[in-house]
Amino acid sequence: TCSFSHSPKDFPKLKNDTFLRAARGEETEHTPVWCMRQAGRYLPEFRETRAAQDFFATCRSPKLCCELTLQPLRRFPLDAAIIFSDILVVPQALGMEVVMVPGKGPTFTEPLKEVEDLLKLRQKVDVTAELGYVFQAITLTRHSLEGRVPLIGFSGAPWTLMSYMIEGGGSSTMAKAKSWLYRHPETSHQLLRLLADVITDYLVGQVAAGAQALQLFESHAGHLGPEQFQDFALPYIRDIAQAVKSKLKEEALPLVPMIIFAKDAHYALRDLAHAGYEVVGLDWTIRPQEARAQTGKDVTLQGNLDPCALYAPKEKIGELVKKMLEAFGTQRYIANLGHGLYPDMNPEHVGAFVEAVHAHSRHINKH
């Protein structure tokens, strides 16, 4: 249950650390597995819990975030939990208004249009004041998990958040946001730097609150070409890893493993493998062997089953998982989808995916 609040101390002892060990490159008996968007609309109990609530009001309720985070773990033997939240809470902390429009998704009431609009943003963000509700949700959930599995915290990466803040919502081209990179490179860097600083404090705060791993989502990497990624995404991805780690040391907090997931950024896998993250997440559009060849031996890989594979019959899901495990190898690997779960997916097929990872990886490890 998620009913009473605790301090971020005296956390229950962790019983299943398979995910953390794989993230750190240690040997595991089975390949750990979790799913992006595992707390989501594909679960009827999620829809029930969320029914009467405004989406961002849900994000601001530690109790509801805890409940939604735990729901998939009641159903499936997942090896990690990821806190229920949204990447757009960071632009909200900078003073922007975001509403969830049914059928349209997240929408900014006043996106950034002109360079001058940057002045409207908070230049100094007190993350505890603005995002303390996420920290409370993490602490509460960490206690409520009772040590079953580790809890992952996360944030969007600077370029992905910048693109939302300028586009005002989703976009198939990101043309407005990309035009800033070409027309206003200095201002773009100013905005990306501001975001990187807030994200750093936000991630450190999540660890202080009890997060045992962190994932940075560069969901819109695929809209950039290699040069723009090199200029406007990668430096901040690197800076965040470095700054988070040095602040964790300074504050005597645990050095938790960090995951970078840059969707569709194959051209940058080599760089991402050297960006200071223990784990590199992969989407479904790259061959496992190729990803291993480009990232080398010193990082753990995470991914990359096509989410739509979960529409296949259960036996077929098992075959695809087996093939994926054989291609990646069962060690230094965390099984996941190459993107989040879709709302119309059958929970039983999610269960089949999780169980296939455990069964096939155990079998491969034995033989």
Q: What is the pLDDT of residues 92-103, one digit of tens each?
A: 999 999 999 988
User: Taking 80 as the threshold, does the pLDDT of residue 1 lie above it?
Assistant: no
pLDDT, mean of residues 176-192: 98
Residue 74 bears catalytic tag? no
Boundaries of domain holding 117: 17-366
SS3 state of residue 209: helix
Length of the chain: 367
pTM of the complete model beyond 0.75: yes
pLDDT, mean of residues 43-58: 92
Residue 86 bears catalytic tag? yes
pLDDT, mean of residues 57-84: 98
| Model confidence band, residue 67 (pLDDT cutoffs 50, 70, 90) | very high
Q: What is the pLDDT of residue 5?
A: 67
Residue among 60, 142, 164, 202 flagged as catalytic: 164
pLDDT, mean of residues 124-133: 98
Residue among 17, 21, 42, 50 flagged as catalytic: 50
- Whether 360 is covered by a domain: the verdict is yes
Q: What is the C-alpha to C-alpha distance for residues 49 and 44, in angstroms, rounded to an integer?
A: 9
Q: What is the pLDDT of residue 6?
A: 72
- Whether 5 is covered by a domain: the verdict is no
What is the domain-level CATH number for residue 37?
Answer: 3.20.20.210
pLDDT, mean of residues 264-286: 98
Residue 24 bears catalytic tag? no
User: Taking 90 as the threshold, does the pLDDT of residue 4 lie above it?
Assistant: no
Strand ranges in 8-93 using DSSP code E only, listed in sequence order = 81-82
- Whether 61 is covered by a domain: the verdict is yes
Residue among 21, 37, 148, 332 flagged as catalytic: 37
- Whether 10 is covered by a domain: the verdict is no
Residue among 75, 86, 117, 306 flagged as catalytic: 86
Number of domains within the chain:
1
Residue 37 bears catalytic tag? yes
- Whether 24 is covered by a domain: the verdict is yes
Here the tokens at position 132 are 């303390």
User: Taking 90 as the threshold, does the pLDDT of residue 142 lie above it?
Assistant: yes
Q: What is the pLDDT of residue 2?
A: 82
- Whether 309 is covered by a domain: the verdict is yes
The whole-chain average pLDDT of the chain stands at 97
Q: What is the C-alpha to C-alpha distance for residues 76 and 55, in angstroms, rounded to an integer?
A: 24
Instruction: Tell me if 147 sits within 8 A of 207, measured CB to CB.
Output: no
pLDDT, mean of residues 334-359: 98
Helix (H) or strand (E) holding 83: none
